[in-house]
Amino acid sequence: MPILWYSIEKRTFAYPVPFRTPLSALDEGARSRIAELCAAEYHDLHDGSSHGWPIVVELHEQNGGPVVSRHRVERRSAPVFSAITVSAA
């Protein structure tokens, strides 16, 4: 599977992708979606949950290569509800 690279605050990570199209050939919407996926991986696998958000994700075609695009990514939280019975009817 092909690999692209993303950087957050000078830390670089590999991200496998199911396509071979160069990042530079993708439109801005596709690159933004990839940045969101990279941010989710960063959050889940690289201590991103303890990081201050929003973050800036830089996308690279090669490790150490030039930045193809830069994206500001926000973390949104969905409300979570839980119920505890306080009395039965």
In a domain, 84, yes or no: no
Backbone angles phi, psi at 51, to 5 degrees: -85, 150
Q: Provide the residue range defining the domain that includes 57.
A: 3-73
Residue 89 lies in a domain: no
pTM over 0.85: no
From the number of C-beta atoms within 10 Å of its C-beta (0-12, 13-18, 19+), residue 6 rates as buried
**According to the 3-state scheme, what is the secondary structure of 1-54?**
CCEEEEEECCEEEEEECCCCCCHHHCCHHHHHHHHHHHHHHHHHHCCHHHCCCC
How do the pLDDT tens digits run along the chain, 89 residues long? 799 999 999 999 999 998 889 999 999 999 999 999 999 999 999 988 888 889 999 999 999 999 999 999 998 887 677 888 888 76
- Domain-located, residue 69: yes
For the chain, the domain total comes to 1
Is there a domain that residue 87 lies in?
Answer: no
Give me the pLDDT at residue 79, please.
67
Q: Is residue 56 part of a domain?
A: yes
Q: In this structure, is residue 30 part of a structural domain? A: yes
Q: Is residue 41 part of a domain?
A: yes
